[in-house]
Structure 1
Amino acid sequence: MSTNKQRVSDLRALSLDLLDEEVLKLKKEQFNLRFQRATGQLENTARVRVVRRDIARAKSIAAQKRAEQQS
């Protein structure tokens, strides 16, 4: 649980551009994981769930920062 809190604080420290880059990086990893799962090469199946949640976390923080900028 502490890793999630640490991950959130790390993401909040990033700028919007870096958050967008992080989302892009995570989406590429998600694609690779899906490809590995389809070909039967995926060993760590839990990583798919972690990456999906990290993408959502990064997108949420980016949306919050964009809303703050518009205010």
Structure 2
Amino acid sequence: MKTSELRQKDVAALEAEIKSLQKAHFGLRMQKATQQLANTATLRETRRAIARAKTILAEKQAAETSKA
């Protein structure tokens, strides 16, 4: 998911997105452990997508606290 798409989501949607990405990353790690994962680059992609979503979530939360 692109950064612009993530920025359009609200805090609750970002948290749900992070949770789903973490589940996907866990599944990929299990596939790798059992020698079933063909493309190991997907691990890197999901890890970076999680980091991207967490960064945007932290920015939104910081913006909300500064407004209040």
Match of 1:51 in 2: 46
1:38 aligns with 2:33: yes
Gaps of 5+ in 2: none
Give the aligned CA root-mean-square deviation in angstroms. 0.9
Match of 2:59 in 1: 64
Q: Which runs of 4+ in 1 moved over 3 A?
A: none
Q: TM-score, normalised by structure 1?
A: 0.91
Amino acid at match of 1:44: N
Gaps of 5+ in 1: 1-5
Number of matched pairs? 66
In structure 2, what is the Cα distance between the partners aligned to 1:44 and 1:17? 31
Amino acid at match of 2:7: R
1:7 aligns with 2:19: no
In structure 2, what is the Cα distance between the partners aligned to 1:65 and 1:50? 23
Q: TM-score, normalised by structure 2?
A: 0.95
In structure 1, what is the Cα distance between the partners aligned to 2:49 and 2:3? 9
Post-superposition offset of 1:44: 1.3
